[in-house]
Chain A
Amino acid sequence: MKASILGIGTVTPLGCGIETLLSGLEGTAQPNIVEHTVETAKGGIALPVYTSAAEGLDRFIPRNKLRRIDRFLQMALLSSFHAIEDSGLNLEDRTRIGIVFGTGYGPLQTSFDFLDTLIDDGDKCASPTLFANSVHNSLVSNVSIALKLQGPCLTLTSFEMTSSSVFSTASAWLEEGKVDYVLTGVGDEYCEVRGYSTILSGSENVSAIKPSAFNDCTYLPGEGFVSFLMGKEKGRKAYGSISSIETGSGNPVKPDHSALFLAANGDRSTGCHYDNLQKGKDLTRLYSPLYGGMPAGQGFDVAIAALSLKDGRLYPSPEVSGAEQKQAEPQIREILHSDSIACLQYDDNGNFGLITLSGKD
């Protein structure tokens, strides 16, 4: 399996586009963390949220066409446009470009807004637009329409296993020759109900994600979307290839000499599984303090891995975030001695998805 990553687009709390992600990795930019007040039985509780915004989407779609597009879809659309633009490819036959997107939670805000209209106004007055956008697959449908991509399209939802499912499906489509390119993407969004759930899970008074404190609850919700244009060919700006995808439970077998990116995000229920791993400390990195906690977090690590392979550098794990974040200080990038990077994410049952990227053809 050798599916090349030809282009990347990101909408993260660091901003839009891979340059903003690189700035975060280099320590010259900090993620946008907005404090929300979550209403609970105990009163309002402050919750820092890693917040993203699809700024600049009107460069690709006129403003008046965006009125029915919710925030989640805006993030997906913008990262998709950026991924194709970043590839530098002139994609003429768009019938041979498929789409595989994934999300842990889907368009949460729209789903709850729709339910509100249903509860408040009855089934006769539930909003048809909100209903249409609350369906998970509306994501790829809208991206297909906006980018005129006419190949097969699919949306996958598998919580923490979402990213491995997406890359596995996209790689299989390319291997089978079903399509020439696949636009892949994963993401999640924040909404008030998720904030409430976070507080209930024990994140009250948490000010910063500490992903390596595996047995502590330091989870803070994040949101964003990351998209990849993938193909069999080694493009001019290729970022490396997906060399293997492994799923299972327990301890995965990491390729020798690989760097290891853990999608640990301060969630104690998954943290214990990372804690049991045999880790080569100097080649292990944790980047969730750049994008926040979310089921689709592994996709953001894949983007960071691709950038690292392209640059031949291994960026340091961000040390602190949230209210404890320091002033931006340039950090020294380490030379990446390995030619592959494995990205690992666990769910709370100990199931894992391991996506390995290689810099070699």
Chain B
Amino acid sequence: MSLENELKELIIKDLKLVDITPEEIKDDDFLFGDEGIGLDSLDAVELVVLLQKHYQVETKDLEESREVFTSVKTLADYVRSKTGAA
């Protein structure tokens, strides 16, 4: 499974999203806001925990986090840059 698909499954499971499947999330869909899948600020905190828990990747810089949390693709790229994952 690609890292992008793995992240989509984790996001749905850990953030308890309903009425959406991994297949319905495109890699470059916005994660936050009405144009994307509609995550909110509390979800952002859960995403920080998700990255730490599953990939041992920390996100401490606020500005950096804004970019990292843009989409599944930016999340996956960030995890790869920190862990060397494929």
Identify the A interface with B (CB < 8 A).
63-64, 66-68, 121, 124-129, 132
Q: In the assembled complex, how far is the CB of residue B5 from the closest CB belonging to chain A, in whole angstroms?
A: 21
19 of the cross-chain contacts (CB-CB < 8 Å) are: A63-B18, A63-B19, A64-B19, A67-B15, A68-B42, A121-B53, A124-B49, A124-B52, A125-B49, A125-B52, A125-B53, A126-B49, A127-B46, A128-B42, A128-B45, A128-B49, A129-B42, A129-B46, A132-B42
Q: In the assembled complex, how far is the CB of residue A124 from the closest CB belonging to chain B, in whole angstroms?
A: 6
Q: In the assembled complex, how far is the CB of residue B60 from the closest CB belonging to chain A, in whole angstroms?
A: 11
The secondary structure that dominates the B interface is: helix
How many residues of B are in contact with the other chain, CB < 8 A?
11
Instruction: Tell me if A64 and B46 are in contact (CB < 8 A).
Output: no
Give the complex CA separation of A64 and B17 in angstroms. 7
**In the complex, chain A residues whose CB is within 8 Å of the CB of B16:** 67-68
Within 8 A of A (CB), among B11-32: 15-19
**In the complex, chain A residues whose CB is within 8 Å of the CB of B45:** 128-129
Closest 9 pairs between A and B when the two form their complex, measured CB to CB = A125-B53, A67-B16, A128-B45, A125-B49, A121-B53, A125-B52, A67-B18, A64-B18, A63-B18
Give the complex CA separation of A125 and B49 in angstroms. 5
**B49 (CB) vs chain A CBs: closest residue:** A125
User: Apart from A66-B18, A128-B46, what 18 extra A-B contacts exist at CB < 8 Å?
Assistant: A63-B18, A63-B19, A64-B17, A64-B18, A67-B15, A67-B16, A67-B18, A68-B16, A121-B53, A124-B49, A124-B52, A125-B53, A126-B49, A128-B45, A128-B49, A129-B45, A129-B46, A132-B42
Give the complex CA separation of A268 and B45 in angstroms. 46
**In the complex, chain A residues whose CB is within 8 Å of the CB of B42:** 68, 128-129, 132
**In the complex, chain B residues whose CB is within 8 Å of the CB of A126:** 49
Instruction: Tell me if A67 and B17 are in contact (CB < 8 A).
Output: yes
Give the complex CA separation of A64 and B40 in angstroms. 13
**In the complex, chain B residues whose CB is within 8 Å of the CB of A67:** 15-18
Cβ contacts B44-78/A at 8 Å (1 or 0 each) = 01100100110000000000000000000000000
Give the complex CA separation of A64 and B18 in angstroms. 6
Q: In the assembled complex, how far is the CB of residue A115 from the closest CB belonging to chain B, in whole angstroms?
A: 15
Q: In the assembled complex, how far is the CB of residue A132 from the closest CB belonging to chain B, in whole angstroms?
A: 8
Give the complex CA separation of A314 and B83 in angstroms. 69
**In the complex, chain A residues whose CB is within 8 Å of the CB of B19:** 63-64
Question: Which of A63, A66, A126, A127 has the most chain B CB atoms inside 10 A of its CB?
Answer: A127
